[in-house]
Structure 1
Amino acid sequence: MNVAIIPARGGSKRIPRKNIKQFAGQPMLAYPILAALHSGCFERVIVSTDDIEIAAIAQKYGAETLALRPAALADDYTGTSAVIRYELEQLQHQGTTPEYCCCIYATTPLLQANLLTTAWQMLQATASLNYVFSAARFSFPIQRALVQTETGVAPFDTSSIAKRSQDLTPTFHDAGQFYFGRTEAWLTQQPVFGNNSQMLVLPDQLVQDIDTPEDWQHAELLYQLLQQAKA
């Protein structure tokens, strides 16, 4: 059995009510719910929230909610892994222990259902894997970064600044969309970014962190281009 868990707390400082704010005609939360449902990977799609309004919207779009998350797990300092463990433990108390659990972030309007399916296939194919997560390649070599000094500018890495881009090791970052893992790995706090994990590298046009109003606008533009391409 597989479950998807979407953490979606009520508080958001930079973009108020971000998780249910209207995005291209639907609440933001609708997009990861629908992607999870359409992927065919999950028997249950659960939204973890501390907010009654968010819970109602989650149910409207086909997800379910367990008991509201405690306030201690809904502040600015609680990590995602702690929330996933809490929800998995609630399922265990109900007599259900899924074999696999995918954490999907709530603000992922560019998430595609087929990416979840691909991640699930990758996880199944290699028994040693604990997680498969979404990643993106840095568009510019991080080894050639610059830093501001008191007197001017300096290379972050003096040994790499003069090298050609193609001679530098490719680098990647967490795309912040999903983390598909084995339930045992979540519950035993195995690191997501470790030896038993694998990246699913996404195309640039499907990656946009949404933390500021400018990020939101950029994500809407990407979403519109994606819809045009599909049409």
Structure 2
Amino acid sequence: MSNVAIIPARGGSKRIPSKNLKLFDGLPMIVHSIRTALKSGLFEQVVVSTDDAEIAEVALAHGAQVPFLRPARLADDFTGTAAVIVHALQQLPDFDYACCVYATAPLLQARFLREGFELLEREPEKSFTFSVCRFGFPVQRALTLDGQGALTALYPEFRNARSQDLPEAFQDAGQFYWGRSAAWLRGDVLYSSASLPVILPRHLVQDIDNAEDWQRAEYLHAALKAGGELQ
């Protein structure tokens, strides 16, 4: 079996400027994902898909490959991850499996990448495995704000339900997506019964979309390193 890691990393980032290159624990953010993918030993190639020459230079300096630059039509605010992976696969030699690894996943651990791959290998009828974590509180009891700024139940039918009686819900952990290359190219649906979960502890998950997220990720990363849990 042959595997490729594809790390999408476009140049434009509005909420956190140059997010993929901003220093995180002394290294450009994307380098953490590159190093973890390389360390896993799972991949024949670790490829960065970018439209940005500076990102390409940093990726090459840290052991990734950049065999192409992503076209501008796939580097805007509206292009989905799947389209980027399909484009990359079309530029590369044939691989049996392709793993999308996000460039902003500094808490990513090689052991979970390995778990995802082994799970997909064992389940030949499935298309994908990807990282998820449990919501910290039942989503059915979520609150929102009405037009006047007052709190209201997002799902009023569950307003009086006991939390222990509600089904468990999971969120995308935003770290990696393993898929059979054929499934990516066919356009199989990721959020569907074609996928299996790699369930991560919630303290190993932090999406990074704004300055508050970034700061929390730094706190988590430092604590995990100090405790010897970040491998």
TM-score interval, normalised by the smaller of the two chains: over 0.9
Given candidates 195, 199, 203, the residue that maps to 1:197 is 195
Aligned to 1:39: 40
**Counterparts of 2:69 and 2:145 in 1: how far apart (Å)?**
46
- 1:150 Cα offset (Å): 5.0
Given candidates 136, 153, 156, the residue that maps to 1:155 is 153
- 1:121 counterpart = 2:114: no
Aligned to 2:171: 173
Corresponding letter in the other structure for 1:134? S
Given candidates 100, 103, 114, the residue that maps to 2:100 is 103
Q: Tell me, what secondary structure is at the counterpart of 2:35?
A: helix
- 1:134 counterpart = 2:131: yes
Residues 156, 43 of structure 1: CA spacing in aligned structure 2 closer, same or farther, 3 A cutoff? same
**Counterparts of 2:131 and 2:18 in 1: how far apart (Å)?**
25
Q: Tell me, what secondary structure is at the counterpart of 1:29?
A: helix
Q: TM-score, normalised by structure 2?
A: 0.95
Deviation per residue, 1:79-101 (Å, 9 max, x gap): 1111100010011xxxx210000
Deviation per residue, 1:200-228 (Å, 9 max, x gap): 11111111111111111110000000101
Aligned to 2:11: 10
Query: Over the residues paired in the alignment, what is the CA RMSD in angstroms?
Result: 1.3
**Counterparts of 2:59 and 2:159 in 1: how far apart (Å)?**
48
Aligned to 2:63: 62
Aligned to 1:219: 217
- 1:196 Cα offset (Å): 1.2
**Counterparts of 1:195 and 1:142 in 2: how far apart (Å)?**
20
Q: Tell me, what secondary structure is at the counterpart of 1:127?
A: coil
**Counterparts of 1:124 and 1:88 in 2: how far apart (Å)?**
19
Q: Tell me, what secondary structure is at the counterpart of 2:124?
A: coil
Aligned length: 227
**Counterparts of 2:215 and 2:153 in 1: how far apart (Å)?**
32
**Counterparts of 1:216 and 1:170 in 2: how far apart (Å)?**
27
Identity %: 51
Q: Tell me, what secondary structure is at the counterpart of 1:111?
A: coil
